[in-house]
Chains A and B, each alone.
Chain A
């Protein structure tokens, strides 16, 4: 059939990275790396100057880019004076955009970045092994936040740079810093994770209608608006600068780790933030699969050392950080790690923290309903005390919490394990659910698991450890992996592999064969969801399914593409929709429509659809759509479509054949 692209000749031209379909094509990255540092460095200067100088826009930006709300949502005035600044005032590292063409000598190895909800790290393949980079304060794991102070922005990578104005935890919690952006990015204001984020010290305002939440940081007693993408971009820019300082050459490509539970729409937000920071995303890897790659490397080394037989080993990888919790089952042998199942949910340390805070202060929600200055301060104190207590509980039987919240509010309590576990029961149940689902999807029983790998900050909580190990019917976890550095090390390995680095000693003869974390399909048979690419399908993948018309003389059909686990279409996440028009009139059920989904190596999803029966000249051409096409309103677009068209444009799954 004409859909199948023939792989021959093998002499295809190398696929150009800048196709118009590519997110980097609309090249924010060409101007933003220059602009962001300007933004950061010139905000200071603005105070010294008397207002913006009058001049025309000189930056290479099209009106559509300006109109794009995701592009920095700084006010136009800011943009105006910023643009009027001559470019030689760029104080930061950036950049060599002009030079790197003339110096192609540096190895273009992608860096690995782990953007955690609470901590971030960056690692590179240095030719022999993975090296984690440290910031000026000698930290490998850098607190994820961006501080908005007066007219400067600074992220947690440098942490306020100089010692005298180094940020402390209470500064981060003062409302001036935005953190937890990984929980907020790409989510609508009806999302429960966004609702829970209202208990953070900065402003998260929701209207509950399915649009993006309004997020703002406190600057000089004013809420200044921002977006999670912008915050992440500023953070990534500092990480990039750190990597460039170590490597002494410009960095362009990156491999980032993401939670399994991230929707495709959230992935596009991460890509956009990277583009704003001047990074090209080579791969987005689910966190446990990055750990699986590291495990494959360990197993390969063991095999070399012991002349082992290369027997397949099954590992269950459990990762729980501050914002998300994921599990994966990987079958590993000979340096190849094949992901057999993935599962995840947006539950993490932040939820545990909030549960404990609500337990300590029963009137938490009414007390902190309005964000006044003293309430923010008081909540910060409570957060620090609670965080500290949770950390201590990992090694102690009980912990005493004494904190004066001001305004006559005092918390004085002894918290022990049983109380801690009682308060967080729901979280442990969710953890249990995703592990069981992962094992069931991999069609394995606990006895099949050779190694249990626990990573992420929350894997240090004794109850979580014992729960996961208990479910896998084992006593000990895999020891040779650092819980906090595993994901970023795996990402750096993948960066080296996908950049085409080869090692003569064979230490990079590694591979992770990825799988899709969620079902992908379309709405069919009324409101049902027909999965075309089921979850845990190996990527790259291409699957096809046949559908038929549901009405006599139906000339149009609506293809609504969804992602998720629900049986009904509306329970899932709408990625986009399009119409097939010009279907030849025929009795219902006689027209066959093929819908084909293709995920390529870079995890880009394309949907091809068209009429396959009848054939001939009277049939419209196929349509190819790159998903997701929706930018906003995932909830109500589906409802609006249903209201407008009802079942007029519906399709039904063809009973004859599902998949060749």
Chain B
């Protein structure tokens, strides 16, 4: 696989994220590895995001371009997931016309 991805796990995670993102427009569940039907609470989303970040963040992959793109897709999915997630009473501003921009600026809240 990619010589600059240090481990098979990293490469596989990057591969899965990129292929999941390519399958559908609204693919955050697939990218974050949350099965359809499973609850996507902010806690679950954050946990998956952190787990996958440790695998595909460029810091962990010596600036491999594939990892960088995978991380960008992961981050996008994370924002989308928090927007779609059932409100858990947090300070997340998920309504109104600026929701997308606000979430893009600071997805996690």
Contacts and interface: CB of A to CB of B under 8 A. Distances in A.
A14 B54 contact: no
Given A7-B14, A10-B5, A336-B50, A540 B104 contact: no
B26 interface: no
Contact of B108 (A331, A537, A659): A331
A536 B106 contact: yes
A444 B91 contact: yes
Interface string B56-90: 01111011111011111001000000000000000
Interface in B2-50: 2-6, 11, 14-15, 18, 46-47, 50
Interface stretch (A462-470, A482-490, A493-501): A493-501
Given A511-B54, A601-B68, A10 B11 contact: yes
B99 to A, nearest CB: 12
Interface in A582-632: 600-602
Contact of A538 (B4, B60, B62, B75): B75
A597 to B, nearest CB: 13
Contacts of B59: 283, 494, 497-498, 511-512, 601
A441 B63 CA distance: 29
Interface string A524-563: 0000000000111110111100000000000000000000
Interface of B is mostly: helix
Given A10-B2, A540-B71, 16 more contacts: A7-B18, A15-B64, A331-B108, A334-B47, A334-B54, A340-B108, A443-B109, A494-B59, A497-B60, A499-B62, A500-B60, A511-B53, A537-B104, A537-B105, A600-B58, A601-B57
A12 B65 contact: yes
Interface residues of B, number: 41
Given A537-B104, A658-B101, A15 B4 contact: yes
Nearest to B17: A7
Contacts of B68: 540, 600-601
A333 B46 contact: yes
B89 to A, nearest CB: 13
Contact of A659 (B14, B54, B72, B100): B100
A353 B4 CA distance: 49
Contacts of A14: 3-4, 62, 64
B54 A542 contact: no
A8 interface: yes
B105 A12 contact: no
A163 to B, nearest CB: 43
Interface of B: 1-6, 11, 14-15, 18, 46-47, 50-51, 53-54, 57-60, 62-66, 68-72, 75, 91, 93, 100-101, 104-109
Give the one of A11, A499, A536, A659 with max B CB within 10 A: A11
A476 to B, nearest CB: 25
A422 interface: no
A116 interface: no
B23 to A, nearest CB: 14
A312 interface: yes
A15 B69 CA distance: 14
A507 interface: no
A312 B44 CA distance: 12
Interface in A1-26: 5, 7-8, 10-15
Nearest to B46: A312
A441 B47 CA distance: 22
B9 to A, nearest CB: 11
B54 to A, nearest CB: 6
Given A10-B1, A511-B53, A534 B64 contact: no
Nearest to B4: A14
A151 interface: no
